[in-house]
Amino acid sequence: PVAVSSWTGAAPRQVLRSVFGYDTFRLAQQPIIERTVRGDSTLVVMPTGGGKSLCYQIPALIREGVGIVISPLVALMQDQVAALQQVGVRAACLHAGQPHAERQALCQRLRQNTLDLLYVAPERVTTDSFAHLLDHAPIALFAIDEVHCMSQWGHDFRPDYLTLTDLRTRFPDVPLIGATATADTDTQADLLERLHLDDDALFVTGFDRPNIQYTVTRKSRPKRQLKQFIETRHAGEAGIVYCRTRKKVEGTAEWLGEHGIRAVPYHAGLSDAMRSDHQQRFLQDDGLVVVATVAFGMGIDKPDVRFVAHLDPPSTLEAYYQETGRAGRDGRPADAWMTYRYGDIVRLHQFLDRSDANDAHTWAQRHKLNALFGYCETTDCRRQVLLRYFGEEAPEPCGNCDTCLHPVDTWDGTVAAQKVLSCIARTGQRFGAGHVTDVLLGRNTEKIRRHGHTELSTYDIGDELNKQGWKSVIRQLVAARFLEVDVSGYGALKLTSACKPVLQGEATVELRKDTKRTGSEGSSSGS
Ligand code: ADP
Ligand code: ZN
């Protein structure tokens, strides 16, 4: 192999070609590498496979000293180190399971400055012995992989990561790159603050998957809707169907089989043998559907998955993006299809409330749930909603999602919104969608009588819509953040500060047309 130290001071493009064998930079790699070489720090948000590693590997070669890469997974570190050694880069990793002699040798190389890249686990970086070592070696840069673990707003907070912010204060002149594939805009802002970085240090790219068509439908008879979707768009093709529970996975796989669609179940409760058998069959067969819980998909690299369907919504848009991202890896048209009902979201909120996670975390999760709900209910381009959630620019509607392809008609729902909001205010913000609707419709229920709600000025003022119509208005008001679901109060609806201009007649509310449906009352859509 080449003597790699010779790359010190080289041009990034030359290193890309000579060491890694690629012709051109991808996405924002070039500006990120240039800044790092200059000594500036950066937060990189790119999806998995986007090419984050080169963003720190190349500057580590060009800058004087060793690049320290902090990565939480030993197996992943070892893979990367092996790949780097293959192309002649002097890389090594330091981890807890290592023999003492090996570790000594590494320290020696560090002190002699004969290493280009050193991979370490986060908990080691903050040990005294490692800190001591760092004081004696020139450092090219710090790269923190999975940096979202540093934020309580992220979906995988790890206390170990918090102390890594010390690196910025202890080594103010060493550039740092934080890299992650999953960080919404709140997490990004939090990370920038923790790492003392300006907005212009943030690079978010590569999230758009133009060949995936996004669709969200209202859930009525989910299995039949799914069957129809598969038969009309993906007969005989491979796909993944996500369900929330094991029981539903089993039931759905069996039902599909009975209705002529070849399907196998996959969840953590199946035996190892069966799981690996079903996974193998899915990988080899281009016409098999796997019905699965979230346990399925990690590390599955099947290029011709033609659709990913969600019979239940995941709890965050990060998870949704990751799961739907398994469709259409080959770049050919693919579908991300979801069916959901309001009750699913309420249930997710209630589930959160029972979790014993600390407050900031629960708060963040609730916030994420609202974003997911906003995505489900949007009348705008879904791709734009999704990309904006990750902070990526999306100036034009995409033309390849259900709302672009079949624009939803909207109507002026200001008066309806005012009725709902004032009814909620007058009933003391203590009731859920069902009761509020009953009051608006002037129903004579035991609950209404018990609370004396027939006396309210908002009693029986809602003839223009039926029960389903009002529930839809309420759902859209929650999605648009005029209302919040208070989970500790069993789904009671509360007004937010956004309501004021609506109640005072200073703002209008556009609602989607399907709410205007009157006539026979269908089954309620949950809650
Ligand atoms: P990430 O860390 O963002 O998940 P990687 O850095 O592992 O992604 O890169 C994913 C794949 O893309 C790797 O096989 C890598 O070699 C390749 N790759 C990265 N940058 C380029 C490039 N500029 N040109 C071609 N291939 C690239
Ligand atoms: Zn669109």
Given strand 176-180, what is the order of strands in its sheet?
Answer: 91-94, 117-120, 66-70, 139-145, 176-180, 42-45, 202-204
**For residue 490, what pLDDT is reported?**
66
Whose C-alpha lies nearest to ligand 1, atom 23? Answer: 25
What Rg, from alpha-carbon coordinates, does the chain have?
27
On whether the CB atoms of residues 259 and 224 are closer than 8 A, the answer is no
Asked if residue 49 has its Cβ within 6 Å of ligand 1, the reply is yes
- DSSP strand pairing (263-266 vs 289-292): parallel
Which residue is associated with the tokens 């899915």?
A: 282
Ligand 2: distance of its center to the CA of 17 in Å? 37
Torsion sign (Cα): 378, 379, 380, 381: positive
Note the Cα 323 to chain centre separation in Å: 9
Asked if residue 48 has its Cβ within 6 Å of ligand 1, the reply is yes
Ligand 1: distance of its center to the CA of 495 in Å? 47
Indicate which ligand has the atom closest to the C-alpha of 387.
2
- DSSP strand pairing (492-495 vs 483-486): antiparallel
pLDDT (tens digit per residue) in 426-466: 999 999 889 999 999 999 999 999 999 999 999 999 999 99
Indicate which ligand has the atom closest to the C-alpha of 385.
2
Ligand 1: distance of its center to the CA of 25 in Å? 10
CA–CA separation, 149 vs 159, rounded Å?
8
Ligand 1 pocket test: pick from 45, 46, 54 the residue with the most ligand atoms within 8 Å of its Cβ.
Answer: 54
Which residues neighbour 99 within 8 Å (Cβ) at sequence distance 6 or greater? none
CA–CA separation, 24 vs 35, rounded Å?
17
Indicate which ligand has the atom closest to the C-alpha of 48.
1
CA–CA separation, 113 vs 110, rounded Å?
5
On whether the CB atoms of residues 53 and 84 are closer than 8 A, the answer is no
- Single-letter amino acid code for the residue at 112: Q
- DSSP code per residue over 383-437: HHHHHHHTT----S--SSBHHHHSPPPEEE-HHHHHHHHHHHHHTTT---HHHHH
pLDDT (tens digit per residue) in 354-411: 666 566 667 777 778 888 988 998 888 999 999 989 989 888 999 999 999 998 888 9
On whether the CB atoms of residues 312 and 242 are closer than 8 A, the answer is yes
Q: How much is the pTM?
A: 0.79
Q: Return per-residue pLDDT of the chain as tens, 527 residues.
A: 444 458 999 999 999 999 999 999 998 999 999 999 999 999 999 998 889 999 999 999 999 999 999 998 888 899 999 999 999 999 999 887 788 898 889 888 988 889 999 999 998 887 888 888 888 889 999 999 999 999 877 767 888 888 888 888 889 999 999 999 988 888 999 999 999 999 999 999 999 999 999 999 999 999 999 999 999 999 999 999 999 999 999 999 999 999 999 999 999 999 999 999 999 999 999 899 999 999 898 778 899 999 999 999 998 999 999 999 999 999 999 999 999 988 888 888 777 776 665 666 677 777 788 889 889 988 889 999 999 899 898 889 999 999 999 988 889 999 999 999 999 999 999 998 899 999 999 999 999 999 999 999 999 999 999 998 898 899 888 888 898 877 655 678 999 998 999 999 999 998 887 644 433 333 333 33
Classify the complex by whether its ipTM is higher than 0.90, answering yes or no: yes
On whether the CB atoms of residues 56 and 36 are closer than 8 A, the answer is yes
Q: Which two tokens stand for residue 225?
A: 């809707």
Asked if residue 22 has its Cβ within 6 Å of ligand 1, the reply is yes
